[in-house]
Amino acid sequence: MDNLPKIKFCGMSQKDDIDAAIKLKVDWIGIIYVYSSHRYVDFTASDLIIDQYKDLIDFVGVFVNADDNLLKRAVKSGINAIQLHGDETPERCMEVKSNFNLPIIKAFPISEQEDLDKIRNYEDCCEMFLFDAKSTNMDKTLGGNGRVFDWNIIKNNESWLRDFKPWILSGGLNQKNIIEALKLTKAEAIDISSGIENDLGEKDINLMQEFIFKLGKLKNINEF
């Protein structure tokens, strides 16, 4: 594949997994600061993780409707960017950007054209957007649920999205669908979480290798 996308492995917390991600030349590691998530990482752990790996990879802190106290503590850990995955308004995004002077990634759950159109209101306050699958009434989790959305929504808006702010494709990506997803959306950055987890919801290094190999970034999986 030409023009390989940037890659974010999200919801990571274990040293061996992060070592593998770095060896696989992943661009970003996502740390979840959402207490209700099974991928939650507390500050003691994130302090140690970021301190150990800060010179090797960038870290994105993921938050849902967080107050400034939580954000301030995470910024102290050394995160490089703030991903807002809740109901944050453009005004709140601008406030966070001003208060912490870090790039803002705003996540949007997508199921119809109207959802995508909302990003126009956030152009001035966010450096990047993330498009994820929308949760159902039966599933209140925000992201990382293994669900995909209709990628044709992205394809049908390709012309203006190309000239808009950078964006990340997320939502149920795995080694089986990533090539199709990239061909359809032409995404220049991708986010994967559940697609590199085993049935117990734990990150799986073999799945990480297989995913990167599928992209063509790992030429020979046996050499890893």
Asked if residue 104 is part of any domain, the answer here is yes
DSSP code, position 3? S
Q: Is 48 left (phi over 0), alpha (psi -120 to 50) or beta?
A: alpha
Is 158 exposed, middle or buried, given 0-12, 13-18 or 19+ CB atoms closer than 10 A?
exposed
> What is the domain extent for residue 166?
6-219
Whether 95 has a pLDDT exceeding 70, the answer reads: yes
Whether 134 has a pLDDT exceeding 50, the answer reads: yes
How far apart are the C-alpha atoms of 71 and 182, rounded to whole Å? 32
The average pLDDT across 182-198 equals 95
Report pTM.
0.92
Q: What is the mean pLDDT of the chain?
A: 92
Whether 223 has a pLDDT exceeding 60, the answer reads: no
Whether 212 has a pLDDT exceeding 80, the answer reads: yes
- Judge contact between 11 and 144, C-beta under 8 A: yes
The average pLDDT across 166-193 equals 96
Asked if residue 108 is part of any domain, the answer here is yes
Share of the chain above pLDDT 90, in %: 85
Asked if residue 1 is part of any domain, the answer here is no
User: Residues 10-65: pLDDT tens digits?
Assistant: 999 999 999 999 999 999 999 999 999 999 999 999 999 999 999 999 999 999 99
Triad 159, 142, 145: Cα angle to 5°: 90
Radius of gyration of the chain (CA): 17
- Output the pLDDT for position 220: 59
How far apart are the C-alpha atoms of 190 and 131, rounded to whole Å? 9
Q: What is the CATH number of the domain that holds 135?
A: 3.20.20.70
Q: How many CB atoms lie within 10 A of CB 54?
A: 14
- Output the pLDDT for position 143: 59
Sign, Cα dihedral of 119, 180, 187, 106: positive
- Output the pLDDT for position 121: 97
pLDDT band at 218 (very low <50, low <70, confident <90, very high): low
Encoded tokens for 81: 């960017």
Tell me how many domains the chain contains: 1
DSSP code, position 27? S
- Output the pLDDT for position 217: 66
Asked if residue 224 is part of any domain, the answer here is no
More confidently predicted of 222 and 29: 29
More confidently predicted of 1 and 164: 164
Q: Which residues pair with 110 in a beta bridge?
A: 133
Proportion of the chain in helix, strand, coil states, percent, rounded to 5: 40, 20, 45
How far apart are the C-alpha atoms of 199 and 195, rounded to whole Å? 10
- Output the pLDDT for position 23: 96
